């Protein structure tokens, strides 16, 4: 199964565009882990046509808050329908168990013993300062953390989080996570 784990950083905030719709924002960078190549890559908004053949060959997209944010935003730039590709949103899976959302950083700290190296507001400031390499470094590390959290959950059927200083388990049912979807291949940007 070819898994694409990705994260997006934006050039602006919801308050800048006067909307709460992810599609109204602009992408600064998309960072990707491709299980087929075991490589991390990054794509500026202008480079997205190079990303489409990778996305179109994916059996599954893995994100943290991607169903609500990353996939709709990326879909704004794509000619096809990204929702036709199987999606696993780790935040949604955690929310099903806990009944509320928690941050990736909270899970990473308790599960992996490490934290994110920044946050989204910093990435926007870096964009405004022209620090593209810093955004890419931050975004790739978020993808790395998401991949490691996913791998941990697949191996252990559990993730961890800290609640009032106490580390607690999030018991997950991962048995169907990598089950192939019944959706056909998409080839909206690939040549024939």
Backbone φ, ψ for residue 170 (5° rounding): -115, 100
CB 70 within 8 A of CB 111: no
- In this structure, the number of other CB atoms found within 10 A of the CB of residue 152 comes to 17
DSSP code of residue 67: I
DSSP assignment of 85-126 equals: SEEEEHHHHHHHHHSS---HHHHHHHHHS---S--HHHHHHH
Q: What is the pLDDT of residues 155-165, one digit of tens each?
A: 999 999 999 99
Q: What is the pLDDT of residues 100-148, one digit of tens each?
A: 999 999 999 999 999 888 777 899 999 999 999 999 999 999 999 999 9
Burial of 100 (0-12, 13-18, 19+ CB in 10 A): exposed
Quick one: pLDDT band at residue 186, thresholds 50, 70, 90? low
- d(C-alpha 67, C-alpha 70), whole Å: 7
Going by C-alpha positions, the residue among 34, 92, 79 that lies closest to residue 58 is 34
| Predicted confidence (pLDDT) at residue 96 exceeds the cutoff of 90 | yes
Once rounded to an integer, what is the mean pLDDT over residues 164-179? 94
Q: Please say whether the dihedral angle defined by the alpha carbons of residues 33, 34, 35 and 37, taken in this order, is positive or negative.
A: negative
What is the set of domains in the chain, with CATH numbers?
A: 3-171 (3.30.420.10)
Task: Give the per-residue pLDDT at 184.
Answer: 53
Quick one: pLDDT band at residue 183, thresholds 50, 70, 90? low
CB 12 within 8 A of CB 147: no
* Distance spanning both ends of the chain, measured CA to CA: 23
Share of the chain above pLDDT 90, in %: 82
Once rounded to an integer, what is the mean pLDDT over residues 15-44? 94
Task: Give the per-residue pLDDT at 192.
Answer: 37
Tokens of 115: 């934290």
Count Cα atoms within 13 angstroms, Cβ side, for 125: 6
């Amino acid at each position: 199964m070819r898994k694409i784990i990705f994260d997006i950083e934006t050039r602006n905030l919801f308050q800048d565009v006067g909307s709460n719709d992810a599609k109204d924002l602009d992408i600064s960078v998309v960072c990707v882990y491709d299980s087929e190549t075991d490589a991390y890559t990054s794509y500026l908004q202008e480079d997205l046509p190079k990303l489409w053949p990778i996305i179109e060959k994916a059996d599954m997209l893995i994100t943290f808050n991607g169903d609500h944010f990353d996939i709709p935003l990326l879909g704004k730039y794509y000619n096809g329908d990204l929702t036709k590709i199987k999606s696993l949103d780790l935040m949604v899976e955690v929310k099903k168990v806990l009944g509320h959302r928690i941050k990736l950083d909270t899970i990473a700290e308790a599960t992996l013993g490490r934290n994110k190296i920044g946050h989204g507001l910093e990435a926007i400031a870096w964009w405004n300062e022209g620090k593209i390499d810093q955004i890419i470094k931050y975004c790739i590390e978020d993808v790395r953390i998401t991949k490691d959290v996913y791998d941990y959950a697949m191996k252990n059927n559990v993730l961890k989080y800290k609640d009032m200083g106490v580390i607690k388990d999030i018991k997950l049912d991962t048995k169907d996570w990598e089950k192939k979807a019944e959706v056909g291949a998409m080839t909206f940007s690939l040549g024939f």
